[in-house]
Chains A and B, each alone.
Chain A
Amino acid sequence: MQPIKNIKDIPEFDLLTGGSSVCAGCGPSMGLKLALKVLGPKTIIINSAGCMTLLPLFPNTPLKVSWIHNAIENAATTAAGARHGLDALGIKDMNVVVYAGDGATYDIGFASLSATAIKNERVIYICYNNQAYGNTGFQCTTATPYGSDTKTTPRGKENPIGNTTIHKDMLKLMGVHRVYCATASLAYPVDFLNKINKAKERDGFSYIELLGTCATGWNFDPRYTIKISRLAVRCGMWPLYEIDDRKLSLNKEFKELKPVDEYLQLQGRYKQLPPDGVIKLQSLVNEHWAELNEFNEKRYV
């Protein structure tokens, strides 16, 4: 498939149709709907237990592609098995795509992901990162940003910050596996789909991390899903970049970032983050942004 130039080039067909039980304004399901426009019907989605597991609910499914749900921690190696199976059958034209949340990716499934990546299995791994265990009601993962309120890091007298752990730098970790890695945002669908397209053309493993903007968990009005997805990029909370053969490329450069406060204000999960928490979060964002700019178009990992 040729690179997509603008939003009008995005195919109109849908392989994720209506009738699913996801929340209003659900970013991850929008992400899958978009990704399938590039992936096409010859696709097997390997899902790890999480919000998206509820897309098919027997005997109904909104999906027009194949779907395997195994458990939570093993989507990558289930995908590797499916790829080996397809190879044994001589089927080369099927995409094997993992669609897994951040808990399944950063935490419980990291060993399975790492092993599949380092062996460069022909799998496209898309992590829809909603920055918490969403399906169980929003508990902290190692992808949860500093300062986020979650059900297992609630704000309180003893700890007004919420989550005090700085999240894992997953792109860097995946970059050292020498595979194609990229971040993506729903507000930049052309960028996202071109990254999927790039991954699809590869004869190996790719890791794409989509900000899984989550109205329910982040506690915002569902109509703001795209607005918040855009602000995340503009504030430097979710920079868009790729690592390819260990080299970094920033995909959206800004002379100046918007202050993170603009992004935080729209979301209930940050509403009561005290000023020193906001300052700390801003400094983490600045540090990351400076690092990305320093290594832009250079060897990064």
Chain B
Amino acid sequence: MKHLLITGNEAAAWGARLIKPHFIPTFPITPQTECIETLARWKVEGDLPDTDFERMESEHSVMSAAIGAAAVGVRVFTATSSQGLMLMHEVLYIASGMRLPIVMVNISRGLSAPVTLWSDHNDFLDQRDSGWIMFHAENNQEVLDMVLQGYRIAEDPRVLLPVMVNMDGYVLSFTDEPVIIPSYEDVKQFLPAYDPQHTITSDRPVTVGPPVMDEYTDYKAQMHLASRNALTVLDEVQNDFEKIFGRRYHTVDEFMLDDAELVLITQGSMSTTAKAAILEMREEGIKVGLLRLRVIRPWPGEIICKALQNVKAIAVIDRNIAPGKGGIMLPEIVESLYHSINRPLVSGFIVGLGGKPQTEAKIKEITHKLANDLASGRPRIEWNDVEVS
């Protein structure tokens, strides 16, 4: 174990280095590039002796090669971002449909057009229904830890689905943070050598990805159940992770929720800013807390519901936009709360598109608006950074 001051990209690369994947197909894209450059440098310096680092000609081919290798029965890692993830879109469904335990880091960036290099969450939320297990990290330590945990979950026979670890571009990808780098020995104890459930070897012919007729629904139902299983597996993995590394992540990250009347629901790096704002607002006597969505798929609806059972009003802060609808996570939260006995007021705020900074002041403003909504009994849906009329 050692402490390093590293970027989110390097934390992702460290995660890959520690688990020693057999195969890393790559294609560069801002802001992911530093991650694969780091791996390429380590490869040539001899730090990845058991890993095959390969350049592909597109992200579509990155995922295609990942599928080819994973189908044969080896451990695969890759990373992408934004337009690259969109180009992979077709094959993401094939990777999950073939039940291949690939782990990929996505460094989130807003989608063209117009071009932006900075983060919002539309890229990976567009993959929400692709069958991948989806995590969203708050900081660089969590990026590394989620890569390690990702393989345990993906490779579990009850799950066998690919895992996407998301982090916010620039804010995490290019920002140095102190990160604990676990030892190879500890990682090996946590994640033993790969023992694939399904392989293609010379002894036994296997057909992967054939057409089906009526069985299509059965396959999709199995994928759904497998994804739901991941919630159970996640808890077990956290237990093992805590035993070995002394850290634990909960399926949803709860911050000052115990006595909170107002709750902000956030994702990713802005949660850290929001937590700082909450500490200040608490000093002023405002009973505000935060719930951070760490696991997007499978959707931990019951856990979210339980965490929010005593709150009065919620602001769902969406760093994404479904034009013509609104924030993507708002309806997910509302759906989960619909069945709860205590149905809190829910307002929606669309913020931070294309990397627009989310300051503590903005978080406080949202909280005050939410308090007003609670007082008036009228929820709102509002763009935080722009006048929309």
User: Is B56 in the interface zone, CB < 8 Å from A?
Assistant: yes
- With A74-B91, A85-B23 known as contacts, the answer to whether A80 contacts B211 (CB < 8 A) is no
- With A56-B210, A61-B210, A112-B57 known as contacts, the answer to whether A70 contacts B205 (CB < 8 A) is no
- With A70-B94, A91-B201 known as contacts, the answer to whether A78 contacts B68 (CB < 8 A) is yes
CB-CB under 8 A from B67, the residues of chain A are: 68, 70, 78, 81
- With A58-B213, A63-B205, A94-B202 known as contacts, the answer to whether A68 contacts B68 (CB < 8 A) is yes
Name which of B72, B208, B209, B212 has the most chain A CB atoms within 10 A of its CB: B72
How many A residues have CB within 8 A of the partner chain?
42
Q: Nearest B residue to A60 by beta-carbon distance?
A: B210
Give A46 Cβ to nearest chain B Cβ, in Å.
7
User: Is B61 in the interface zone, CB < 8 Å from A?
Assistant: yes
User: Is B322 in the interface zone, CB < 8 Å from A?
Assistant: no
Q: Is the CB of A81 within 8 A of B200?
A: no
For chain B residues 40-95, which have a beta carbon within 8 Å of chain A? 52, 54, 56-58, 60-61, 64-74, 90-91, 94
In the bound complex, CA of A114 to CA of B70 (Å): 22
Q: Nearest B residue to A78 by beta-carbon distance?
A: B68
User: Is A1 in the interface zone, CB < 8 Å from B?
Assistant: no
User: Is B207 in the interface zone, CB < 8 Å from A?
Assistant: yes
Interface residues on B, range: 35 or more
Contact of A93 among B200, B202, B215 (CB under 8 A): B202
In the bound complex, CA of A69 to CA of B54 (Å): 22
User: Is B25 in the interface zone, CB < 8 Å from A?
Assistant: yes
User: Is B22 in the interface zone, CB < 8 Å from A?
Assistant: yes
CB-CB under 8 A from A115, the residues of chain B are: 56-58, 61
User: Is B206 in the interface zone, CB < 8 Å from A?
Assistant: yes
Contact of B200 among A61, A64, A66, A87 (CB under 8 A): A66
CB-CB under 8 A from A57, the residues of chain B are: 210-213
Render B186-224 as a binary contact track against A, CB cut-off 8 A, 1 for contact: 000000000000011110011111111101000000000
Render B7-49 as a binary contact track against A, CB cut-off 8 A, 1 for contact: 0000000000000001101000000000000000000000000
CB-CB under 8 A from A266, the residues of chain B are: none
Q: Is the CB of B205 within 8 A of A64?
A: yes
Q: Is the CB of B65 within 8 A of A58?
A: no
CB-CB under 8 A from B68, the residues of chain A are: 46, 68, 70, 77-85
Contact of A53 among B58, B74, B208, B211 (CB under 8 A): B211
Give A144 Cβ to nearest chain B Cβ, in Å.
25
CB-CB under 8 A from B207, the residues of chain A are: 56, 58, 61, 63, 66-67
Contact of A77 among B65, B200, B201 (CB under 8 A): B65
Render A69-103 as a binary contact track against B, CB cut-off 8 A, 1 for contact: 11101100111111111111101011000000000
Contact of B209 among A64, A69, A112 (CB under 8 A): A69
In the bound complex, CA of A87 to CA of B200 (Å): 12
Name which of A41, A65, A85, A114 has the most chain B CB atoms within 10 A of its CB: A85
User: Is A187 in the interface zone, CB < 8 Å from B?
Assistant: no
Q: Nearest B residue to A61 by beta-carbon distance?
A: B207
- With A84-B54, A112-B61 known as contacts, the answer to whether A71 contacts B90 (CB < 8 A) is yes
Q: Nearest B residue to A15 by beta-carbon distance?
A: B205
Give B88 Cβ to nearest chain A Cβ, in Å.
10
User: Is A42 in the interface zone, CB < 8 Å from B?
Assistant: yes
User: Is A7 in the interface zone, CB < 8 Å from B?
Assistant: no
Q: Is the CB of B64 within 8 A of A41?
A: no
Give B137 Cβ to nearest chain A Cβ, in Å.
27
Q: Is the CB of B202 within 8 A of A88?
A: no
Give B35 Cβ to nearest chain A Cβ, in Å.
19
Q: Is the CB of B64 within 8 A of A77?
A: yes
Q: Nearest B residue to A46 by beta-carbon distance?
A: B68
Contact of A69 among B25, B56, B199, B208 (CB under 8 A): B208
In the bound complex, CA of A224 to CA of B18 (Å): 60
Q: Is the CB of B74 within 8 A of A70?
A: no
Contact of A111 among B58, B65, B74, B199 (CB under 8 A): B58
CB-CB under 8 A from B73, the residues of chain A are: 85, 89
Q: Nearest A residue to B72 by beta-carbon distance?
A: A85
User: Is A10 in the interface zone, CB < 8 Å from B?
Assistant: no
Q: Is the CB of A81 within 8 A of B205?
A: no
In the bound complex, CA of A89 to CA of B199 (Å): 10
Q: Is the CB of B210 within 8 A of A91?
A: no
Q: Is the CB of A81 within 8 A of B206?
A: no
For chain B residues 338-353, which have a beta carbon within 8 Å of chain A? none
CB-CB under 8 A from B52, the residues of chain A are: 84, 87-88
CB-CB under 8 A from A301, the residues of chain B are: none
Q: Is the CB of B69 within 8 A of A81?
A: yes
Q: Is the CB of A69 within 8 A of B210?
A: yes
Q: Is the CB of A71 within 8 A of B205?
A: no
In the bound complex, CA of A94 to CA of B68 (Å): 14
Q: Nearest B residue to A96 by beta-carbon distance?
A: B68
Give A295 Cβ to nearest chain B Cβ, in Å.
29
Contact of B22 among A54, A66, A85, A93 (CB under 8 A): A85
Which are the 8 A-B pairs with shortest beta-carbon distances? A81-B68, A81-B65, A85-B72, A115-B57, A74-B64, A85-B69, A88-B22, A77-B61
Q: Can you list 10 A-B pairs, Cβ within 8 angstroms, ordered by A? A: A44-B200, A46-B68, A63-B205, A67-B207, A67-B210, A70-B94, A77-B65, A82-B71, A89-B73, A91-B201
For the complex with contacts A68-B200, A78-B65, 17 further pairs of A-B residues with Cβ separation under 8 Å are A65-B205, A67-B205, A67-B206, A68-B209, A82-B69, A84-B22, A84-B68, A85-B22, A85-B71, A85-B73, A88-B23, A88-B52, A89-B199, A111-B58, A112-B57, A112-B61, A114-B57
